[in-house]
């Protein structure tokens, strides 16, 4: 195994040991598993009623709403702020970054290792939460829901949601890892990016494309229209096809990571500043 | 430029408008070198510069011929026990040392072997599997020391390494520093405990307000402080008579007789002349001299003259 791969593995291992399921990240776990709790309650309540008031189609539409408005615009977004901003900023606050800087690690390798550790944590949390919530929301339909998932469109939808959740972690992760290198308070860039992402439907077509949410939204299997009265302000743009959206997002992620790695090369240890 | 030296060539470092160090030129040979100076004198800045944690505003640094902006080479040659008493969360002492050794690229088995050897060297074998968060201050200091030495660096930079250590651990640490210095490694130590600096050091660098005030072996540094008469303690049979003879010579400025009646403390502006004169007096008068020793060529005195006093300069 090459030296760089061994070093990335070492960083990944240490970061996972330090951060995954640590007490400091309790609010991220709460964000991730909030929908699991809600869909679980929904299953239990509907099972107790012994009679469906709605259809599988309605439940999948509700899940699409949860995914669009909670997972994408709130949960994964702030989850990534919590996980990725702290990869460097957290080390500075705890005065432990110098241990990495005193090993013969290229800064680019350090950025890659930390990013992969963050991505692994975030993906396990958010893809896991998405998959569990999807499976729970229609669980009270019993065999009919199993049939919908395993013999109908359900599995494809689940795959798409999981892919979108993973891509969201990758894209927002790169944004917030970079912002953690530049900003002392991660909430400032987070607020700016959040506003930008949430006004996306109302932006002109060319500006829409400079965002993560535009590509992710187009990859979702069920579209949720903007409710009135805001729908009148929506500006339509051609959706990005799959073969543009996925490589495009990954390319933007790589560019952000490359910039973060270049910036990390010039950073110094100055905890008191 | 020698590959066996740590060199600073006209190095300055500013933090915004605040001076860290100014126009420092140094050449540090192998052995134990102590950085001495009050808080804010630039000791930690100097250490951070030679380990690549910060960059100079001006000037050039080479550590065994390696530029500090080449961490791939520098960090294999350098181990730094910094002053920050902080550790990555959730690790035991063993995991702490082992995890950062892995980043050097060693095989896991080799990392395990080196981790145990380093922990053994600092006396942390028994506590190695306990979480670092449960360590005392002295144990945390030793764990950081183990992490700094585990990859067997040629240059060890230790910022206040004796802080928090109990007397026994302190003595063991000093013995280790001396052993490494004798083995031809560079051991750069900063310390406020001047009598221990005296015991440890082959050479000292005195810093004040970002400037190097003096550097070299402490005796030669003392010899260059011309405006402070040298103090010499003589133990002899007739100190009164010796004092009377010495005062005839104008380079002896003060003589203090000890209450035990056998010792005399002299202050002279010309130490070499004094020793010649003493020989002559002994031959002429038959005074029996038991011992002659300099009384102020230690770090503490030099520190007082150059930094703690009224700003005497070389």
Task: Give the model confidence (pLDDT) of B130-150 as tens digits.
Answer: 999 999 999 999 999 999 999
Spell out the per-residue pLDDT of chain A, length 273, in tens.
688 999 999 999 999 888 776 777 888 999 999 999 999 999 988 888 766 667 888 889 999 999 988 999 899 999 999 999 989 998 998 999 999 999 999 999 999 999 999 999 999 999 999 999 999 998 888 889 999 999 989 999 999 999 999 999 999 999 999 999 888 888 888 999 989 888 887 888 778 878 888 888 888 888 776 666 666 656 666 777 888 888 988 998 999 999 999 999 888 888 764
Shortest Cα–Cα distance, A258 to chain B (Å) = 19
- Judged by a CB distance cut-off of 8 A, whether residue B18 touches chain A is no
CATH topology of domain B229-295: Alpha-Beta Plaits (3.30.70)
Strands B263-268 and B252-257: antiparallel
Kindly determine whether residue A17 and residue B104, on different chains, have CB atoms separated by under 8 Å: no
Task: Give the model confidence (pLDDT) of B159-182 as tens digits.
Answer: 988 887 888 888 888 899 999 999
Domain boundaries for CATH 3.40.50.300 within chain B: 6-222
pLDDT at B313 over 50: no
- Judged by a CB distance cut-off of 8 A, whether residue B17 touches chain A is no
B71 interaction partners in chain A (CB closer than 8 Å): 101, 103-107
Shortest Cα–Cα distance, B166 to chain A (Å) = 25
Could you tell me how far CA B180 lies from the centroid of its own chain?
13
CA–CA gap between residue A266 and residue A138 (Å, rounded): 52
Q: How far apart are the first and last CA of chain B?
A: 27
CA–CA gap between residue A69 and residue A56 (Å, rounded): 20
Instruction: Please provide the average confidence, as pLDDT, over all residues in chain B.
Output: 87
Domain ranges of chain A: 3-265
CATH code of the domain occupying B6-222: 3.40.50.300
CA–CA gap between residue B202 and residue B181 (Å, rounded): 8
* pLDDT given at position B311: 40
Shortest Cα–Cα distance, A7 to chain B (Å) = 5
- Judged by a CB distance cut-off of 8 A, whether residue B100 touches chain A is yes
Domain boundaries for CATH 3.30.70.100 within chain B: 229-295
Q: Which of B47-56, B219-228, B243-252 has the lowest mean pLDDT?
A: B219-228
Residue B199 or residue A227, greater confidence? B199
Chains A and B: how many Cβ contacts under 8 Å?
Answer: 87
Kindly determine whether residue A106 and residue B48, on different chains, have CB atoms separated by under 8 Å: no
B82 interaction partners in chain A (CB closer than 8 Å): 98, 102
Could you tell me how far CA A264 lies from the centroid of its own chain?
23
């Amino acid at each position: 195994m090459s030296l760089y791969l061994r070093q990335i593995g070492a960083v990944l291992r240490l970061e996972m040991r330090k951060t995954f399921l640590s007490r400091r990240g309790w609010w991220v776990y709460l964000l991730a598993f909030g929908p699991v709790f809600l869909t679980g309650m929904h299953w239990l309540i509907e099972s107790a009623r012994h009679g469906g008031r709605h259809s599988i189609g309605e439940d999948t539409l509700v899940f699409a709403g949860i995914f669009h408005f909670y997972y994408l615009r709130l949960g994964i977004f702030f989850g990534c702020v919590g996980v990725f901003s702290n990869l460097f900023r957290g080390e500075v606050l705890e005065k432990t970054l110098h241990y990495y800087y005193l090993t013969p690690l290229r800064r680019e390798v350090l950025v890659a290792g930390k990013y992969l550790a963050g991505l692994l944590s975030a993906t396990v949390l958010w893809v896991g939460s998405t998959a569990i919530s999807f499976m729970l929301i229609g669980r009270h339909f019993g065999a009919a829901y199993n049939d919908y998932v395993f013999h109908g469109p359900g599995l494809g939808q689940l795959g798409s949601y999981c892919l979108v959740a993973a891509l969201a972690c990758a894209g927002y992760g790169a944004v917030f890892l970079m912002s953690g290198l530049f900003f002392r308070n991660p909430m400032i860039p987070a607020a700016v990016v959040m506003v930008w992402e949430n006004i996306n439907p109302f932006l002109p077509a060319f500006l829409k494309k400079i965002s993560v949410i535009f590509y992710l939204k187009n990859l979702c299997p069920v579209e949720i229209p903007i409710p009135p009265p805001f729908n009148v302000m929506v500006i339509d743009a051609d959706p990005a096809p799959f073969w543009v959206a996925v490589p495009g997002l990954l390319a933007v992620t790589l560019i952000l990571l490359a910039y973060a790695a270049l910036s990390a090369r010039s950073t110094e240890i100055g905890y008191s500043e | 430029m020698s590959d066996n030296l740590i060199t600073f060539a006209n190095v300055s470092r500013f933090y915004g408008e605040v001076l860290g160090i100014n126009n420092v030129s140094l050449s540090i040979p192998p052995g134990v070198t102590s950085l001495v100076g009050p808080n804010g004198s630039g000791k930690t800045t100097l250490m951070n510069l030679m380990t690549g944690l910060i960059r100079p505003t001006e000037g050039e640094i080479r550590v065994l011929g390696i530029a500090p902006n080449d961490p791939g080479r520098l960090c294999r040659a350098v181990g730094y026990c910094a002053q920050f008493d902080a550790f990555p969360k959730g690790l035991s002492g063993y995991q702490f040392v082992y995890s950062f050794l892995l980043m050097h690229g060693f095989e896991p088995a080799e990392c395990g072997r080196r981790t145990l050897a380093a922990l053994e060297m600092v006396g942390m074998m028994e506590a190695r599997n306990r979480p670092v968060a449960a360590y005392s201050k002295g144990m945390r200091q030793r764990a950081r020391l183990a992490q700094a030495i585990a990859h067997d660096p040629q240059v060890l930079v230790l910022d206040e390494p004796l802080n928090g250590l109990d007397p026994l651990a302190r003595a063991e640490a000093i013995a280790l520093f001396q052993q490494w210095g004798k083995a031809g490694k560079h051991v750069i130590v900063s310390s406020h405990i001047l009598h221990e600096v005296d015991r440890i050091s082959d050479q000292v660098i005195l810093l004040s307000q970002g400037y190097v005030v003096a550097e070299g072996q402490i005796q030669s540094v003392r010899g260059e402080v011309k405006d402070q008469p040298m103090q010499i303690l003589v133990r002899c049979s007739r100190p009164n008579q010796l004092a009377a003879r010495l005062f005839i010579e104008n380079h002896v400025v003060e003589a203090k007789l000890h209450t035990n009646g056998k010792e005399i403390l002299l202050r002279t502006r010309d130490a070499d002349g004094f020793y010649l004169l003493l020989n002559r007096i002994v031959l002429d008068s038959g005074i029996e001299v038991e011992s002659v020793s300099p009384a102020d060529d230690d770090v503490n005195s030099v520190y007082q003259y150059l930094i703690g006093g009224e700003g005497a300069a070389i």
